[in-house]
Amino acid sequence: MSVLDKQGADRQDPVPDKTRGEPAGAGSTGSDEGGPKNTRGRQPAGRRGLFLALNGVSVLLGIGLWWVLADAGFTLPTPPQVVSRAGTLISNGTLAGDIRASLTRVLIGFALGTAAAVPVGFLMGWYDILRGLIEPWIQFFRTIPPLAIIPLAVVIMGIDETPKIFVIFLAAFLACVVATYQGVVNVDRTLINAARVLGAKDLTIFARVVVPASTPFILVGMRVGLGSAWATLVAAELIAAQKGLGYRIQNAQLYYDLPTIFVGLITIGILGLLMDRALLLAERRLTGWQERR
């Protein structure tokens, strides 16, 4: 018996009687003429435009502050210097090669970490026996930074791509598995009890109730895991890498090449932001039934 079943076994909530009459318009979905339209989970176009405009203003203010600090004598390259260096790295193909190498490592490590975290999180949340067996190890490795695993990974796995991808995998896995587990244990017990009353079996309840209710938690865990994957990238590319944004930043540090360091940092930030926005879009499409502010 699952954890959710045990917690809801002592009570069964009544199923709403759909045969009783309702006041006129009580169940309206807004499809009738003159009725309110269903805008749940969607932002008005004007609000989205305002939000994008504020994003643009924020970016411009950030660049302006950066330029002022550089001109004021802080050890920072100016935006034109960074743009010039970016143009050089783009023209000779260096930046494209670094982006390709880093993206490959992040995508493989993140995909493997997420693919492993989701089923493990579901099993921990659904079966109390597996939760007792797995949870101590999850909490144990969560307290160890993935960067601290690098020396061990190098000794065991060598200096090729495997240890780099492994530490990124570990960072994404630990972030996503906890979010998935929390999603399962926080499923509304009323929904499970109602499904039981209607005669649903375990597999149906899991597929039609638990998985949809846990999806928002999973997607949030994926977003946190993606950030952890990019944060781990620079250290992962210290392992005998010859290409990659992290490698380029570390190599530029040896020569005090600040414009190249800034190009690498900005590129990582832009790639991470674009991937996060893609996950946010998927979250809005998959959880459109949720109420949003």
Phi and psi of 140, rounded to 5°? -65, -50
Whether residue 146 has pLDDT greater than 80: no
Whether residue 58 has pLDDT greater than 70: yes
Residue 279 lies in a domain: yes
Are the beta carbons of 7 and 129 closer than 8 angstroms? no
CATH number at residue 241: 1.10.3720.10
For residue 24, what pLDDT is reported?
Answer: 41
Residues 96 and 50 in one domain: no
Look over the chain and give the mean of its residue pLDDT values, rounded to a whole number: 80
Residue 30 lies in a domain: no
Model's pTM, two decimal places?
0.75
Q: Domain limits at 83?
A: 77-286
Whether residue 55 has pLDDT greater than 90: no
Residues 52 and 122 in one domain: no
Residues 93 and 238 in one domain: yes
Does residue 292 sit in helix, strand or coil?
coil
Residue 260 lies in a domain: yes
Give the confidence band of 21 by pLDDT, cuts at 50, 70, 90.
very low
Whether residue 281 has pLDDT greater than 90: no
For residue 288, what pLDDT is reported?
Answer: 64
Residues 141 and 58 in one domain: no
Percentage of the residues of the chain whose pLDDT score is greater than 70: 82
In this predicted model, what pLDDT tens digit does every residue of 62-116 receive, in sequence order? 999 999 998 888 888 999 999 999 999 999 999 999 999 999 999 999 999 999 9
Residue 184 lies in a domain: yes
Instruction: Give the count of domains, the chain.
Output: 2
Higher per-residue pLDDT: 168 or 211: 168
For the segment 12-18, the average pLDDT, to the nearest whole number, is: 45
In this predicted model, what pLDDT tens digit does every residue of 233-274 receive, in sequence order? 888 887 767 889 989 998 898 888 999 999 999 999 999 999
Residue 11 lies in a domain: no
For residue 38, what pLDDT is reported?
Answer: 45
Say how far apart CA 188 and CA 211 lie, in whole Å: 12
Tokens matching residue 225 = 């895991």
Residues 212 and 83 in one domain: yes
Say how far apart CA 65 and CA 68 lie, in whole Å: 5
Residues 53 and 164 in one domain: no
In this predicted model, what pLDDT tens digit does every residue of 184-241 receive, in sequence order? 888 777 877 788 788 777 778 777 888 888 888 888 889 998 988 988 888 888 776 7
For residue 233, what pLDDT is reported?
Answer: 85
Does residue 19 sit in helix, strand or coil?
coil
Residues 58 and 123 in one domain: no
Tokens matching residue 163 = 């240890």
For residue 177, what pLDDT is reported?
Answer: 92
Whether residue 6 has pLDDT greater than 60: no
For residue 127, what pLDDT is reported?
Answer: 84
Residues 225 and 133 in one domain: yes
For residue 188, what pLDDT is reported?
Answer: 76
Interacting residues of 193 by C-beta distance below 8 A, sequence separation 6+: 8, 11, 12, 13
Residues 53 and 118 in one domain: no
For the segment 133-162, the average pLDDT, to the nearest whole number, is: 86
Residues 214 and 240 in one domain: yes
Residue 28 lies in a domain: no
Tallying the residues shown for the chain, one arrives at: 293
For the segment 117-145, the average pLDDT, to the nearest whole number, is: 88
Residues 57 and 132 in one domain: no
Residue 175 lies in a domain: yes
Which residue type occupies 196? R
For residue 282, what pLDDT is reported?
Answer: 83
Residue 39 lies in a domain: no
For residue 284, what pLDDT is reported?
Answer: 81
Residues 90 and 203 in one domain: yes
